[in-house]
Structure 1
């Protein structure tokens, strides 16, 4: 029995591309990390994490393939997974792109926005992790540029933005709001001040707007708010508010 998976309709229709956004259900981890935790750095048993990632990979229905994961640091660096890439390496990056088949690009999140991208015609895929710092810093634009350097065309790229914390549940405070307005004015419209005593920030909305402004051919949103659905997803903020620890869900994309 495969774990539940959420998919982009457009990427699903693309030939030779497999993908999926996974939540917290369908794994073997227990307690705070029940049950499909994909991170070894949160305190879960390593053997459980290996089993969980394997379950997610097999749910893509492309057989047992390796998973490329980066050490995500809330930055804007994009790593090219080429023939010299070793799966055991965890280089610092918040996005990866590749032309390789037989390997899945994986992104771990627990409120930040996972973004899966594919240019089916060129055979190029990408995956990006967009927290607020990565989003305002341009991680999506950098990922698209890296895909273009490999031969992709942004008009042919399909981008799917996965489950992330929504603006109603992402309060940021005045200092952070002022920092965004001063340093990243293009993101200021996604600071919401009406309806709450303190400002909130719409990260998925910002990423969606950026994707459209970049001229990406097809843009879709997949899944729901991570904070609002703790039964479906891991949410770092929800866990913090409830004095517990959050696991990490995985998003995967692979060629073939």
Structure 2
């Protein structure tokens, strides 16, 4: 059985296989039900391994060639041409031009971004939480693609399902961190009914991509927090006392 996943017109191309996967279509139970691929979660290793096999098969590759990082909310991006040996490296972005190698971003409210440059056949994936987005993980992913020959104006980028502004209440100190970086960033916040700021992660990531000169960009409207039956959400589980949480996966691969 193939798990459900989302696609976008900007990325549809005969030369690649990709998908923005949610929480359905796997074998995990409890708070990880069912397609949890998060190796950093407390789910059983057997279930995670099987779920990663399911995703890899759906993409048209093997589980050993489905690459996921140990994500640390950084702007660190790696260029890869082979499977990892041992534990996944600590970084938040992957870029490759190697066919058959599926690169991914894991998320549970943060923004997964998939990139494709069709003229040079280069793909990228990054995990953009607020820290990574603010420090430039999308910028570094684009630069890594360019280092392989990608032409910036040809790069397409799609932001997958992540938390919406309505569900992303933060503290005033959080907003101050952004405004201290650039006063214009205040436009990504609005006050909620209780006078606390709400951050628009989606719009912030799209603005970052646009500021890098990308013109072929878009985002899904889905909110991970507001759709707990469809997506894993760290914040939803935390607010509802569910403890640990699973991870969604967004992955892209050049076909062999």
* Superposition TM-score, scaled by structure 1 size: 0.94
Say which SS state the counterpart of residue 246 (structure 1) adopts. coil
Superposition CA RMSD, Å: 1.5
1:152-191 alignment runs, 5 A limit: 152-191=150-189
Assess if the C-alpha contact under 8 Å between 1:7 and 1:222 holds in 2.
no
Q: Deviations over 1:56-90 (max 9, x none)?
A: 12222x2435111111000101111135x525441
1:18-37 alignment runs, 5 A limit: 18-37=17-36
What residue is the counterpart of 2:16 in the other structure? 17
Distance (whole Å) between structure 2 residues aligned to residue 166 and residue 73 of structure 1: 21
Distance (whole Å) between structure 1 residues aligned to residue 55 and residue 182 of structure 2: 36
Q: Deviations over 1:120-171 (max 9, x none)?
A: 1101100000000111111111110110111001111110100000001001
Displacement after TM superposition at 1:196 (Å) = 4.6
Q: Quick one: structure 1 residues 182 and 116, their matched pair in 2 at CA, closer, same or farther if it must change by over 3 Å?
A: same
Q: Quick one: structure 1 residues 183 and 217, their matched pair in 2 at CA, closer, same or farther if it must change by over 3 Å?
A: closer
Q: 1:142 aligns with which of 140, 143, 156?
A: 140
What residue is the counterpart of 1:6 in the other structure? 6
> Which segments of 5 or more consecutive residues in structure 2 lack a partner in the other structure?
none
Q: Quick one: structure 1 residues 71 and 181, their matched pair in 2 at CA, closer, same or farther if it must change by over 3 Å?
A: same
Assess if the C-alpha contact under 8 Å between 1:69 and 1:87 holds in 2.
no
- Residue range with higher mean Cα deviation, 25-34 or 174-183: 174-183
Distance (whole Å) between structure 2 residues aligned to residue 106 and residue 86 of structure 1: 13
For the pair 1:73 / 2:72, whether they are aligned, the reply is yes
Assess if the C-alpha contact under 8 Å between 1:120 and 1:157 holds in 2.
yes
- Residue range with higher mean Cα deviation, 183-192 or 116-125: 183-192
Question: What is the number of equivalent residue pairs in this alignment?
Answer: 253
Q: Quick one: structure 1 residues 187 and 137, their matched pair in 2 at CA, closer, same or farther if it must change by over 3 Å?
A: farther
> Which segments of 5 or more consecutive residues in structure 1 lack a partner in the other structure?
none
Q: Deviations over 1:22-68 (max 9, x none)?
A: 000110000111000001221101010011111112222x2435111
Say which SS state the counterpart of residue 238 (structure 2) adopts. helix
What residue is the counterpart of 1:50 in the other structure? 49
What residue is the counterpart of 2:239 in the other structure? 241
Distance (whole Å) between structure 2 residues aligned to residue 109 and residue 81 of structure 1: 20
Assess if the C-alpha contact under 8 Å between 1:5 and 1:21 holds in 2.
yes
Q: Deviations over 1:162-218 (max 9, x none)?
A: 000000100111111112111244533212226552001111111112212222141
Distance (whole Å) between structure 2 residues aligned to residue 101 and residue 87 of structure 1: 18
1:63-212 alignment runs, 5 A limit: 63-64=61-62, 66-83=65-82, 86-193=84-191, 195-212=193-210
* Superposition TM-score, scaled by structure 2 size: 0.94
Distance (whole Å) between structure 2 residues aligned to residue 120 and residue 150 of structure 1: 13
Assess if the C-alpha contact under 8 Å between 2:77 and 2:92 holds in 1.
yes
Distance (whole Å) between structure 2 residues aligned to residue 117 and residue 219 of structure 1: 9
Assess if the C-alpha contact under 8 Å between 1:6 and 1:223 holds in 2.
no
